[in-house]
Amino acid sequence: AQSVTQLGSHVSVSEGALVLLRCNYSSSVPPYLFWYVQYPNQGLQLLLKYTTGATLVKGINGFEAEFKKSETSFHLTKPSAHMSDAAEYFCAVSGGWGQNFVFGPGTRLSVLP
Amino acid sequence: NAGVTQTPKFQVLKTGQSMTLQCAQDMNHNSMYWYRQDPGMGLRLIYYSASEGTTDKGEVPNGYNVSRLNKREFSLRLESAAPSQTSVYFCASMAQGTGELFFGEGSRLTVL
């Protein structure tokens, strides 16, 4: 079984500041890990994913995340926030293709001018 | 490309009524999923179908049934709607080899 926790339901940063959104997971099998973003009144779109290989993965819009097995974490970062990054971000875990795909509760990111 | 199409986009039901949410994808994906999204709870998996002919329960299956009609279509049925089923429902399909989920635009359901 898989589960995901996201620390902080709401994070506020100033424009140009570092963005750090936290995600911890549990999985009974080697996990596949994902970050999705949701803009208001829209569906979700993929930011980045980790399946195997390099533990630092880069995604769209300047975001990246690092898989740390020892810490069971997959935190999302961006060096410099932009106003357009304001959205809700979801971390997710899967046991593999076609398997149960579980989302965390989400973190709403606000970017202040 | 249409991607994942859900119908209807909005629906209001009375308690006890039934309805079916339809979902179709044109990307030839094997796996399809139904989620509900509620404030502060993220997306919770209702049912999924790893391939045509198979379905499995997710976190919150009670009160719902699903049908994988063919490879393209995966419907969600509420037999006797309850106010607790007021939510936004998302259908998604998974790309083989990448694990990426592609989402529909959502269906907003209100049960009075």
Contact A98 B35 (CB under 8 A): no
pLDDT above 90 covers what percent of chain A? 75
Residue B18 Cα, gap to closest chain A Cα (Å): 25
Q: Which residue has the higher pLDDT, A81 or A94?
A: A81
SS3 B17: coil
What per-residue confidence (pLDDT) applies to B95? Answer: 81
Contact A96 B99 (CB under 8 A): yes
Average pLDDT over residues B72-97: 94
Work out the mean pLDDT of chain A and round it to a whole number: 92
What per-residue confidence (pLDDT) applies to A104? Answer: 92
Pairwise CA distance, residues B45 & B95, whole Å: 18
Which residues between 72 and 111 in chain A have a beta carbon less than 8 angstroms from any beta carbon of chain B?
Answer: 90, 92, 94, 96-106
Are the C-beta atoms of B68 and B74 separated by less than 8 Å? yes
Closest CA relative to residue A9, chosen from B45, B44, B39: B39
Pairwise CA distance, residues B39 & A55, whole Å: 31
Closest CA relative to residue B73, chosen from B87, B97, B46, B55: B55
Average pLDDT over residues B40-53: 89
What per-residue confidence (pLDDT) applies to B1? Answer: 62
What per-residue confidence (pLDDT) applies to A30? Answer: 82
Q: What is the pLDDT of residues B5-14, one digit of tens each?
A: 999 999 999 9
Residue B33 binned pLDDT confidence (cut-offs 50, 70, 90): very high
Give yes or no for residue B65 having a pLDDT over 70: yes
Residue B70 binned pLDDT confidence (cut-offs 50, 70, 90): very high
Residue A20 binned pLDDT confidence (cut-offs 50, 70, 90): very high
